[in-house]
Copies of this chain bind each other. A is one copy, B any other.
Amino acid sequence: MERKVTLACGDGGELAHKLIQQVFVSAFQNQDASRFDSAFLSLESGKIAVTTDSFVVNPLFFPGGNIGKIAVAGTVNDLSVAGSIPLYLTAGFIIEEGFPLEDLRKIVRSLAEEASAAGVRIVAGDTKVVEKGGADGLYINTTGIGVQRAEHAIRPGEMQEGDDVIISGTVGDHGIAILAARGELGLMTDLQSDCTPLNHMIDKVLESGAHVRMMRDPTRGGVATTLVEIAEDFGAAIEISETALPIRNEVMGACDILGFDPLYLANEGKVILIVARNDRQRVLDVLRAFPEGRNAAVIGHITGMGEGRLLLETPLGSRRRLRRLSGMMLPRIC
């Protein structure tokens, strides 16, 4: 076996065959799908949930994870926050010619481990190799399939004034961890990305019988953008409180240095839940029993239904409207 991935590894011939056998099949322990052009699955129900995401994170390895882990977490979480039970993943790799095989192995291993920990199976895969300069190392697409819950489903239709907005932990860890790992701006921090699959924790929340109206994972665009989308999609007036937001000191510090707003930083292991006020404590208790939910907090509530908008209450008690991230966040001197 070569030490680097070559273009020929992606041409469907003998090298491609070897790469798939030696790196992927061995990690995913799934010979079956390689005999047919598709994988065959049996589900208990015909009601399924499907989601897809491509992962282009830079750098590929960062404190707290790598692109393989995030490719599982991101898609598992998208299924889980939609209220379904994640079961299967497909994984499509786009690899730049010359990519170190050892790194590929690490990423694939991590993807396999994370999938197994989350209780999902990798059922189909694909590998393409592009010319040097045709990718920034490696990209992964994962598509997830889950079954919709019969019991304990989420009920977005019941969203109402007084519902609480809960976040499962601190805000912006992933965004700043990645920025620091990139090294370009000179930030140094011990911060870890929060990237992790949340499905087991979310399962427990739902199975607790709490009335969960809606969930979403505040990834790209951060908590503010995610809440604006919920507000607009469901016509909810949402108000959150600046002082209630759990934020790590390191994240605050980095934001102060660069002029960033933590509300717009990406998270990869957090869920926002809209829950009936009466169930607030029950949900917090379940979340806080998981390490990934230790810092769960109520950050706001729904103030009315009708016009969708998001307000932030400042420590001074005044309110200002938050909108979607507008353009990229760029470090500022002014």
Residues of A within 8 A of B (CB): 7-8, 10-17, 34-56, 77-79, 81-82, 84, 88, 90-94, 123-126, 128, 130-131, 133-136, 139, 141, 143-146, 148, 156, 216-217, 219-222, 225, 229, 233-234, 264, 266, 323-329
**A/B interface sample: 8 pairs, CB < 8 A:** A14-B323, A37-B216, A38-B84, A43-B46, A52-B91, A92-B141, A94-B94, A134-B136
A56 partner residues in chain B, CB cutoff 8 A: 94, 128, 130, 134
In the complex the two chains form, is A79's CB within 8 Å of B38's CB? yes
Docked CA distance A34–B234 (Å): 12
Of B41, B55, B128, the residue contacting A54 (CB under 8 A) is B128
In the complex the two chains form, is B146's CB within 8 Å of A38's CB? yes
A146 partner residues in chain B, CB cutoff 8 A: 38
A17 partner residues in chain B, CB cutoff 8 A: 229, 324
Docked CA distance A61–B324 (Å): 34
Docked CA distance A134–B17 (Å): 26
In the complex the two chains form, is A50's CB within 8 Å of B37's CB? no
In the complex the two chains form, is A221's CB within 8 Å of B16's CB? yes
Docked CA distance A146–B93 (Å): 22
In the complex the two chains form, is B51's CB within 8 Å of A327's CB? no
In the complex the two chains form, is A143's CB within 8 Å of B92's CB? yes
